[in-house]
Structure 1
Amino acid sequence: MKVARLRLDRSGSQNNIGLTALDSAPAWTGLRALNSDPATMRRHRLYAESSDNDITRRFDLLRTLMADTIEEHGILRLGVTAPTRGSGTSFIAANLALAMARRPSSRVVLADMNLRRPGLARMFGANPPAPLSDVLTGGAPVSGHLRLFGNNLALLLNSKNVESSAEMLQEPATAHALREMRQQFLPTLEIYDLPPVLGRDDLLSFLPQLDGVVLVADGTRNTSQQVREAEDLLTGRTRLVAVVLNRGEVRRSVFEIIQGIRDRFFGGRDKEQV
């Protein structure tokens, strides 16, 4: 995995309660524990503890590269998406959430908003308490659905496909459910595993709920045209926080388009790349 820190936007975010110091949170500490399977997590390359491991080192570095941007611009609601299916969005979202949760002062919520193809529950080896649609439509409280993993990470999982997912994501009830979760549990960061940008309108339907996105580009399958099309759809609709180049050798065409995106936002200035 190679990481490019992409944007330091100077504008403020809207509808954002911001990052706060970790204070007493009875609602958070009262959440039920997640029954996950460590062997399943390892098989999907999810690691909760920081160790001498290449994956955790890279995600800890990504966390640190993004931390100043997140705090400076008050980013609370962060989406993770990709141009197309199969680019490793869930892998990036889950490991980024685990890395963020390793900070003692954090309260991180990781939510599976890829309603057509949910995958986080399978990666954690866990069974969601109910379909996430029950929460998003107001039929069940979010407090009964969230599960605590360790001390600083809570998961909003799903295992039932929703074919009318774009319509559900646009509904006021979805925004209301997430706002209630925010007010009740006071997370310092929300990370949303999202559907791909291209092909359907699910991702665009959810953008009003976000302060910024991380775009995942698969170095073995995404073309420069796909990355460009995804970036064009996001431009003007949300803040592009970072681009993560994932998996395998990066083809030159993909690298060139990523470099072009960086030049567009930074005016050609040198920035960090791992």
Structure 2
Amino acid sequence: MEKLQAALDKARRSRNERNASSETNPVTPKIQDNTSASLIARWQALTPFEVQDKHLIRHRVVTRSARKAATPFDILRTKALLQMRQNGWKRVAITSPMPKSGKSTMACNLALGLGRQNDLRSMLFDLDLRDPSVQNFFETRPPHGISEMLSGAVPFEEQALRYGENVAVSMAQRAEADPTRILLAEETAEKLDEIQATYEPDVMIFDLPSVLVNDDSRAFLKNADCALIVVRADATHYGQFETCQREVAEHTNVLGVVLNAYRHDKRAVETA
């Protein structure tokens, strides 16, 4: 009983001290408010860019606004976000067994879909360094390449661009001859930790190379909390998918599998 009373007295004294402080200096902002303002300022300092909707649609990026074509991506966004929150995950890699499966399209759609959530901050990193394509999707060339930023040659705020108020995009300028050197480097892991601590994104999306063509994704997956695997219905063999899933699971959590380019033949259903 005495311990409880002592705790109550301590809490009462603390509350009285805070009240007295606010009376003598009522306009002093809270530390949390200062932190929030500073975070907003850091995001606002990123160079903004814009892209025409018709260009995005030509590249099958349809999530800039709510529309029928965006619905499948919005469902994926919501499912992925809920599962990541449940597990405390912030970083999702997007990969595939083989190239031409639509993983970069998926990554760009997911990033812009998350951007429509005003209370979320998202980042997209183009790490398919042998064949980078994000700058083509957004019709924008960054002032510096992502490799320069990850190696510490340029700071993130000078390399990344901002789409809208809450999506940061770190793009490659050109293909790299030896991406594994960058993706496996400890300084890359440290740089990503620094970016996460500085900008506090809710979701970090990494567009990675296909797993079965080289060792680039294997080199990086340890830095992701989870991964989405994109398979193409008319091209990916089951053996390729099975091998890819096993490889990814060795390095991180498999968030899910996306079946892309599935053609639903309504006439076949009607005549069956």
Q: Is the TM-score greater than 0.5?
A: yes
Name the structure, 1 or 2, with higher relative contact order (CA <8 Å, separation 6+): 1
Q: Which of the residues 32, 40, 48 maps onto 1:33?
A: 48
- Cα drift, residue 50 of structure 1: 2.8
Tell me the alpha carbon deviations over residues 165-188 of structure 1, each in whole angstroms, 9 at most, x when there is no partner: 012111112112212211221111
Tell me the alpha carbon deviations over residues 154-210 of structure 1, each in whole angstroms, 9 at most, x when there is no partner: 100112111110121111121122122112211111001100010211000001110
Equivalenced residue count is 228
Output the CA distance in 1 between the equivalents of 2:91 and 2:159: 19
Counting aligned pairs with the same residue, the percent is: 28
* C-alpha contact 1:136 1:177 (8 A) present in aligned 2: yes
Decide which structure has greater helix share: 2
Q: Which of the residues 254, 259, 262 maps onto 1:248?
A: 262
Q: Which of the residues 191, 206, 213 maps onto 1:192?
A: 206
Q: Which runs of 5+ in 2 are unaligned?
A: 1-34, 265-272
Amino acid at match of 1:105: D
1:151 partner SS: coil
Output the CA distance in 1 between the equivalents of 2:50 and 2:73: 24
Partner of 1:91: 105
Partner of 1:156: 170
* C-alpha contact 2:63 2:73 (8 A) present in aligned 1: no
- Cα drift, residue 151 of structure 1: 1.2
1:45 lines up with 2:60 in the alignment:
yes
* C-alpha contact 1:119 1:159 (8 A) present in aligned 2: no
* C-alpha contact 2:124 2:168 (8 A) present in aligned 1: yes
Aligned-residue RMSD, C-alpha? 1.6
Residues 171 and 211 of structure 1, relative CA distance in 2, 3 Å threshold: same
Amino acid at match of 2:159: H
Pairs within 5 Å for 1:1-274: 23-24=36-37, 25=39, 26-54=41-69, 56-249=70-263
- Cα drift, residue 35 of structure 1: 4.1
- Cα drift, residue 23 of structure 1: 4.4
Amino acid at match of 1:52: R
TM-score normalized with structure 1 length? 0.79
* C-alpha contact 1:50 1:57 (8 A) present in aligned 2: no
Q: Which runs of 5+ in 1 are unaligned?
A: 1-21, 251-274
Tell me the alpha carbon deviations over residues 56-92 of structure 1, each in whole angstroms, 9 at most, x when there is no partner: 1111111122222110101111000000011001000
Amino acid at match of 1:62: L
